[in-house]
A and B are shown apart, each in its own frame.
Chain A
Amino acid sequence: MPAPIRLRELIRTIRTARTQAEEREMIQKECAAIRSSFREEDNTYRCRNVAKLLYMHMLGYPAHFGQLECLKLIASQKFTDKRIGYLGAMLLLDERQDVHLLMTNCIKNDLNHSTQYVQGLALCTLGCMGSSEMCRDLAGEVEKLLKTSNSYLRKKAALCAVHVIRKVPELMEMFLPATKNLLSEKNHGVLHTSVVLLTEMCERSPDMLAHFRKLVPQLVRILKNLIMSGYSPEHDVSGISDPFLQVRILRLLRILGKNDDDSSEAMNDILAQVATNTETSKNVGNAILYETVLTIMDIKSESGLRVLAINILGRFLLNNDKNIRYVALTSLLKTVQTDHNAVQRHRSTIVDCLKDLDVSIKRRAMELSFALVNGNNIRGMMKELLYFLDSCDPEFKADCASGVFLAAEKYAPSKRWHIDTIMRVLTTAGSYVRDDSVPNLIQLITNSVEMHAYTVQRLYKALLDDISQQPLVQVASWCIGEYGDLLVSGQCEEEEPIQVTEDEVLDVLEGLLVSNLSTPVTRGYSLTAIMKLSTRFSSVNRIKKVVSIYGSSIDVELQQRAVEYNALFKKYDHMRPALLERMPIMEKTASNGPTEIVQTNGETEPSTVEAKHPPPVTQPTNQANDLLDLLGGNDVVPVIQTTIPTKPVSAGGELLDLLGDLSLSGGPAPAPAPSVPTSQPPFLLDGLTSQPLFNDIAAAGIPSMTAYNKNGLKIDFTFERANPNPNIAVITIHATNSTEAEMTDFVFQAAVPKTFQLQLLSPSSNVVPALNQGTVTQVIRVLNPQKQQLRMRIKLTYTHKGSAVQDLAEVNNFPPQSWQ
């Protein structure tokens, strides 16, 4: 058998491959050769073969068959073998496989080897990938080596101990005696690793922390020596002596000085010294300064020192090196809460960073800017931030808009300024604002009574320019609906009133209804606005016409509104003025405000930002509960239902909307409805007896029922309470089709009253075969914590004989066992 090819030869050969397939072929061939070589238990070439295997592993090919060979190499007496063997172990083995435990004995022997380089290999491997079991077995050996006088081994043992402690924290105690004189070492390697070990112990145990506080003077001395000592070629980096050690000491001091006055005082001087004497022309000096600043901010330092730290950060902001600027902004963000005034002094520099090219820097500058906004600087800051909003990348717009709203709400110097600012946001970044900004803005507008005329005028003008940004359009429609009379009468005081006729206004609103740019929600807003104008304008006939047209709209939401408004005109015209009169001022609840911007990564997409915002907490009043709980309100006083102020209807529009775009992100309804007293229609339980007509075997005694049966489509519900949670009812729908043509694109949707939660799993298929030849099933889980009467509204869509069919139905005949 010829000798296996050498490693470099293999590498060279593989690199000549011109295609992925060619490479794979070479690799497979070589792997086969290696495998047979392994089978022959060839000691001579095992090392070479494993090395080749490691190369192929790096290219992405499987190499698990080499794991045991690594162990054999480790057990060999040749140093070359051990070197490759341990490398292989670190690359191919991990603690999930039991194989790795076979290493333990080898490592133990090697830890006691006569050659320090072998001991070093063992320490390195253990410290890199030792599992908890291995660490437990070998901790004693590591501890022994920690006490050796050989600095080469001692430093490795210290880091190995760190790993052991991370894996098995209970073993920390056993290393305590060995730490006694670690810091009196002269060797920098040992010093550095010892400081790392001490840091790890102090972080994990408050007792250790208290115990090691006495080391502060010694640490201070070492640090001082490093700074004051002359040039030491061995540890010098750009004129600074052992920056790595300096940084680690500073970090340990931070942990020791936190919450401890005495320790903090003891390190005050040295921190000031480091802060003022460190050379800042290169990255290495700034790294030390950075660590120093972090330490100063975390311990109980005196105010002078804190100001010094913040000034260092301020200087960092002016540094040409963008890395330094980035680091400065991050640190300032952490300190802005506690040292607000000091950070304020650097506000202009921070605002300049908004124009930086780097995305991460821009994001941090934005977050910091918002944190710095206060009553004094609101006008200036807002100008900068709005300018930023105009020109920034889309990924920032949502957060920036939220931040602007929040800041405006807190510090607006005047109502007009507030409204102007919000309008500016809506016109420049209107598509990126969060959904709840629409109801919030509406509420703000209603509350600023004296600004109504001004607001509606500005909004009208904005609509004339651009109808693509939905939040803006929705707010504008609502306002025009409410205050259209002010618009037409030209009553604006704040600015030059514009001349506008009723017809022009109605033109604009109707334009929204037909425009492709308008979402169904927006259309709902504009239809309602048109309706409201019937009591404010005189062109009632035109409005009646529009409303009746939409009575046959395909969009069921619009259709319903139109039909109900029609009914208002016909049967309930005497109630119309009262129903459509001006909205009362809405009470602002604390939960309505936009939430704080979440600090997010600079690199995540905007969609994850949205997901991170918790849904606004809703506090429905009792009366609102009654209103929104209305079920089966179809035939009972529909008028009252629709004149619930459009705020909840349309704000929750997309949630309440069973039609059109159903957002799959479930969430509780936003914004509560203001209370409009209404009489709750009495709800009668359909005659349900507790006697099931027939028992479904699958259900735990809960009878099944037919929920829907029309046009050949029959939907049965069967129930289960298999779920351990008694509040969850599991309903399986069974859809069958008795017509001669199959129903395709079948989609089943359901809605439940607010006190329930619904979860719809995937259907078995979306084709219901003809002539009852098959069933489509789908599972619904209904959470009913309040054990209320289960009611459901279902919507069915499917294609039958080439035409699309849609139907809405109500399901009230749930057996009591399904929800009790």
Chain B
Amino acid sequence: VIRKYFWPICLVGLFLTSVLSQSCDLLYVHLNRVTWQNLKLLSHMSNPFPVECLKEKKAFELPQEILSHTQPVKRHIEEAFYEISSQVFNIFSQHACKSAWDEKHLKQIQIGLHQQVEYLERCLEEEEKERDRETLLNNLKLRRYFNRLGNFLKDKKYSQCAWEIVLVEIRRCV
């Protein structure tokens, strides 16, 4: 079930990076590499998924329509990507994260995500454009989604299982 979503999301990721390339020229080359590295890191972090955690699985309803817009306004996707990267970084920088993961991997993920966020920020700031309604709406949807993830972690008191489930979910959207 989880694997089924992996390829479509990979393709979306590729699409994202190709769209981003037009705006930030060479920045994209680096961003692409960093993003893929992060993706690989995330998949290494927990392999295989512990079976006992399956029963705690929850549907978080990732707003996929944001990533697969039929009329891709480049800036919307850039901003969505930035928000996602930013939020994922937030999740991994929580203190309770330390107990769940191998420190080396965690550090690498944090470094990688931080770079991703920084480059995106730079890219977005370069193009000073007005935020339109669509962006704000997408922003809200993404925040609701990450809010659900965050609340799930809190409710389950940051248990290992909770982290594993959240990790799988994050892989889907990064």
Partners in one complex: no
